[in-house]
Amino acid sequence: MTRSLLTGVLLAVASFATAWQAVSAQSPDSARFVRGTVRDNDGAPIAGVDVFLLESLEGATTDSAGRFTIRTIQRGAATIVARRIGFAPTQRAVDLATAGSVQISLVRQAPVLIPITVVAGAYTAGSERGAVLNAIQVASTPGATADIARAIQTLPGVQNVDEGTGLFVRGGDVSETKVLLNDVVMIEPYNYETPTGNYTVTVDPFLLDGIFFSSGGFGARYGNILSGVADLRTQGRPVQTSVVATAGLAAVSAGLNLALPHGVGTHATATRSDTRPMFKLNGSTRSYSPAPNGTDFSGSAIWKYRPSAEFKSFGIVRHSALGIEPSDPSASGGYAADFRSSMYQTGWKDLFGAVAPTISVSSAQTHRAEEFGAFTLGDIERSTQLFAQTAWTAANALTLRTGVDAEWRSARFVGRVPSVGLTKFDSKTSGARNGLFVESDFQPVNALRLVTGIRSDRSSFTNVRTVDPRVSAALRVGGSATITSAWGVYHQVPDPLYFDAALGRPGLAPMSARQAVIGAQLGDDANIARVELYDKQYHDLAQLSLDRVVVGGGTGSSHGADLFLKGAIPGILGGRVSYSFVDANRTDPTSGLRARAPFDVTHSLTVVAEKNFGIGWNASGAFRYATGKPYTPVTGATFDQTRQLWVPSYGPPFSQRLTPLQRVDLSISRFIPLSPESFLVVFASVNNLFDRVNVFEYRYSSDYTQRIPVRSLFNRSYYVGGSISFARQ
């Protein structure tokens, strides 16, 4: 409950404020028109340019003379965005009260995206008009409170296994989905990980320009990933200087954006969190000592030295600590954790004629200290990564991409019993992985897009080179319908800990999956109906048994269907519906039998509705339902005289289910303009409105005669806060 009602709500208002300045502060009857012309470098008009206001996503398309007219109710400062395939997108800050005819110039660039952008299993969130989830919706999703992972969980293909933020995609384990930042993998994407779940994705969502999420069938660009991809892109240079300060029940935050001369800009945020006031108001389903608390610092520096080129550096440093009572009955003394992590990334992109190179490098490390009663576990992980890609537009309908990626990773794990001065293990492991990919993006006719590729990877952990062919197709039928399909082979190297001689099993093979996806989508803007069917076959899975022993060679399968609906009744109500069906099974590592996967949540349903009242108020609500996750029941216990404890006996693996998960969340905000350059937003939310008792797992008494339900993170919880922002042109 902590960070989702913390950093997310805390910073969500930064996005709300700019968005609702357009759609809420004025009456619909006070609409005005923004007019202008878009031309190329030579002054020739450009037709078919998508021009829209970033704050409200109100927009229009230029005619044959390059002219556009946007109807808007926004006042004051605004950002006009212009995009068209074959040109570098541009943004321009204007004052709508004084702007006359707006003149926009676009610079030609290699068209790295083909006009048919609907692909199998892929969803986007960001500032693009027509995105499945725009930035406002990511911020305002009730219960998500601007957390990236929780917003992604409202998309089809993600199973709501519990109320944490783990991304369980199409029957896969959470470790099979990777979070990338500017093309490199984050080794520690979550905050506040505990034995009973994690809380939020690390990155402040308001430092992001966009999110690409794929639930399957992704291309050869992405390696060492079995199930899903969440690819985050940090913002470019800010269009204006602004300051934002936010305070809520659990944290305070400050943000600074600087638009400097010569194409230079910076973004920075700092957050201090302390959940004690929130727990004092709402109570808690856990007994914390200390309550979750921490600090986060993140920022970026950008130099856009010409319209098509950019240097960008991003860094994040965070620290969090908490104590929580464990659910394991054999443990005593509680659980405590202290996490410290950092990540620094630098990237460069440019355009030279028809060639567009990209390079990204990163360095990251995590330090984790955990106490499980009398036992302490410490680990340090370090990762250095490189990603490089070159895209060549060989023709108007053909783009070729080739690239490499590499990772150097090391880990050290230390386990001790301090009370007796005993070190149970002190292990080190390190290894490297390299990959090469080639991909073709071809549009032989206007209605058909084919993406074919192949990649090869080798890791020193497995000493095996893998070859993964992949292909996807999109066929436009009529004006707004698209049929999509994808097939591919995917490999992933198990966690470094699994290869340690003392703790794991050296010589594990790379895990593999074969995916096939077919689907159809109607619409691609404000109204979307989409359905997909998929099948996944797993081999060489590496898993942990109940005794924490590494077991390799597992097999499994997963198949199901995803449904997504998004639409609006203009002026009345907007919303979206996501539904996922999955049937997943795999080898149980404890018994060796094929059984339900531990994340086989058959049905997942999310319904989100939102209403803008046109007077500065915005309200939204969400309903979530999920089939109870499977678990292995305890059927009895025998007493071990040597160890002086009860040893449980288990029934068939994952043969029973928890009760279904259900939740209703509400949120409401009010936008208050203070001046043309400043505004205030106040907000309130309630999670789990009906105080539904959702069960996370069962724990047992020491002799296993009593089964005790462990409640999920969310009881009924209230949150209030406010944010103030100042901007300067």
Nearest to 663 by CA among 720, 702, 618, 605: 605
The answer to whether 699 and 706 have CB atoms below 8 angstroms apart is no
| Mean pLDDT across 403-430 | 81
| Mean pLDDT across 717-729 | 83
Q: Quote the pLDDT of residue 332.
A: 52
Does residue 13 have a pLDDT over 60? no
Q: Give the rounded percent of residues in the chain with a pLDDT score beyond 90.
A: 34
Q: What is the pLDDT of residues 305-342, one digit of tens each?
A: 887 789 999 999 989 888 876 554 444 557 788 889 99
Cα 232 from Cα 182, distance rounded (Å) = 6
The answer to whether 388 and 421 have CB atoms below 8 angstroms apart is no
| Mean pLDDT across 433-441 | 95
Tokens of 201: 């994705």
Name the pLDDT band for 532 (thresholds 50, 70, 90).
Answer: very high
The answer to whether 363 and 349 have CB atoms below 8 angstroms apart is no
The answer to whether 13 and 719 have CB atoms below 8 angstroms apart is no
Other Cβ atoms less than 10 A from the Cβ of 555: the count is 13
Distance of CA 433 to the CA centre of its chain: 24
Amino acid identity, residue 229?
V
Amino acid identity, residue 199?
Y
399-430 burial string, b = 16+ CB within 10 Å, else e? bbbbbebbbbbbbbbbbbeeeeeeeeeebebe
**Which domains are assigned to the chain?**
3-16+118-728 (2.40.170.20), 32-72+76-108 (2.60.40.1120)
Residue 418 CB partners (closer than 8 Å, separation 6+): 374, 376
Burial of 258 per CB tally in 10 Å (0-12, 13-18, 19+) = middle
Q: Quote the pLDDT of residue 23.
A: 35
Cα 152 from Cα 154, distance rounded (Å) = 5
Instruction: Scan for tokens 């409401």, then name that residue.
Output: 668
Radius of gyration over every alpha carbon of the chain, rounded to an integer in angstroms: 26
Please tell me what DSSP assigns to residue 617.
Answer: E
Residue 91 CB partners (closer than 8 Å, separation 6+): 54, 79, 80, 81, 82, 239
Q: What is the pLDDT of residues 667-712, one digit of tens each?
A: 888 888 888 778 888 888 898 899 998 888 888 888 899 998 888 7
Q: What is the pLDDT of residues 24-56, one digit of tens each?
A: 333 334 456 788 999 988 888 888 788 887 766
- The helix (run of H) or strand (run of E) holding residue 254 is strand 251-259
Cα 433 from Cα 100, distance rounded (Å) = 55
Cα 174 from Cα 707, distance rounded (Å) = 27
In 595-722, which residue ranges form alpha helices assigned H by DSSP?
Answer: none
Q: From residue 324, how far is each of 511, 566, 581, 713 by CA, in Å?
A: 33, 39, 34, 12
- Cα distance between the two ends of the chain: 38
For residue 432, list its beta bridge partners.
408
pTM of the model: 0.82
Nearest to 148 by CA among 167, 132, 127: 167
Which range among 125-134, 229-238, 464-473 shows the weakest confidence by mean pLDDT? 125-134
Cα 333 from Cα 323, distance rounded (Å) = 10
- The helix (run of H) or strand (run of E) holding residue 604 is strand 603-612
Nearest to 195 by CA among 368, 421, 316: 368
Tokens of 36: 């202008």
Q: Quote the pLDDT of residue 436.
A: 97
Burial of 368 per CB tally in 10 Å (0-12, 13-18, 19+) = middle
Residue 245 CB partners (closer than 8 Å, separation 6+): 252, 253, 254, 255, 723, 724, 725
Q: Quote the pLDDT of residue 696.
A: 84
The answer to whether 632 and 607 have CB atoms below 8 angstroms apart is no
Q: Quote the pLDDT of residue 20.
A: 34
Does residue 655 have a pLDDT over 80? yes
611-633 burial string, b = 16+ CB within 10 Å, else e? bbebebebebbbbbebbbbbbbe
Cα 649 from Cα 633, distance rounded (Å) = 9
13 backbone dihedrals φ, ψ, rounded to 5°: -65, -25
| Mean pLDDT across 79-100 | 78
Residue 382 CB partners (closer than 8 Å, separation 6+): 363, 364, 365, 409, 410, 411
Cα 231 from Cα 179, distance rounded (Å) = 6
Cα 80 from Cα 101, distance rounded (Å) = 12
Q: Give the rounded percent of residues in the chain with a pLDDT score beyond 70.
A: 85
The answer to whether 462 and 487 have CB atoms below 8 angstroms apart is no
Tokens of 230: 């969440």
Nearest to 711 by CA among 163, 31, 11, 142: 163
Distance of CA 212 to the CA centre of its chain: 8
| Mean pLDDT across 659-666 | 92
Mean pLDDT of the chain: 82
Cα 135 from Cα 591, distance rounded (Å) = 46
